[in-house]
Amino acid sequence: MSRRALAFVVFAIAVSAGCVRLGFWQLHRLADRRALNAMLSSRLADSPRPVRELLRDSASAGYRRVTATGDYDFANEFALALRTRQGSPGVNIVTPLRMAGTDTVVLVNRGWVYAPDAMTVDLSRWREPTPATATGYLLPVHGAGPGAVSAATNRSVLYRLDRDSVAARLPYPVAPFLIVVTEAASPARDSTPARLAAPVLDEGPHLGYAVQWFAFALIGLVGAAFSVRADRRGSWRRTAVPLARPSRQ
């Protein structure tokens, strides 16, 4: 085998091995995604529990269905900017819920409302009756995240939820979770924001990526095989003895 062909074969095998490894990595990610989806599906299928029971065990509270009753603090609510619904721009309205028997409030994402610039909205237009019962699922609210939190021109508009930033502007302790309300208000009112749907539990692109990486590996091996075959044919042609032609008299 020529040095050129050998170098190509070694390169093709190395690339194919890397592609195989990436393919199995995507399969491992798919398995993790399926396990996570199974856990979330089980939690979202449970009956709602009082939120104060779950907040005692914050490690396993995420995505569990809860219910909380209290008074909405509309004076300290805010809008989460740059949220879309069916292709339309808008915001999500997040309102602190004050519960009896504790000074800690839980933030409640009451849903989505239309805003032409995905930022500016009249929050007083979307006030629901209080006291109220919020039923939905829990999401963790993390702190000390990167980037700007508040809009430069309006402190009641946030680009993202940051627990430390939100807690600093509120006059009471804030629970480390957010209730995403999924159940519609009864009776329905024009002032009720559009409730958010439960999270989509799909498997992501991991299986497709795995198939692509395995296909790339196969292409590399096939290319190496063709290179070896072509090199052998070339070597045979160079070393073959030509047939003697009969001399003309």
Tell me how far CA of residue 155 lies from CA of 15, 55, 72, 78, 152, in angstroms.
52, 28, 19, 8, 7
By CB atoms closer than 10 A (0-12, 13-18, 19+), residue 65 is buried
Comparison of pLDDT for 105 and 54, the residue scoring more: 105
Q: Which amino acid is at 150?
A: S
To the nearest 10 degrees (0 to 180), the angle between helices 3-45 and 206-239 is 170
Q: What does the pLDDT read at residue 88?
A: 94
pLDDT tens by residue, 226-242: 887 877 776 655 555 55
Dist CA 186 CA 192 (whole Å)? 10
For residue 7, count other CB atoms closer than 10 A to its CB: 12
pTM of the model: 0.75
Q: What does the pLDDT read at residue 189?
A: 65
Question: Where in the chain are the domains?
Answer: 3-38+204-238, 64-181
State yes or no: pLDDT of 114 exceeds 90. Answer: yes
Identify whether the C-beta of residue 201 lies closer than 8 Å to the C-beta of residue 37. Answer: yes
Q: What confidence tier does 135 reach under pLDDT thresholds 50, 70, 90? A: very high
At residue 47, φ and ψ (nearest 5 deg) are: -70, 145
List the one residue out of 121, 133, 128, 110 whose CA is nearest residue 189. Answer: 128
Q: What confidence tier does 76 reach under pLDDT thresholds 50, 70, 90? A: very high
Average pLDDT, the chain: 84
Average pLDDT over residues 163-185: 86
Q: What does the pLDDT read at residue 53?
A: 81
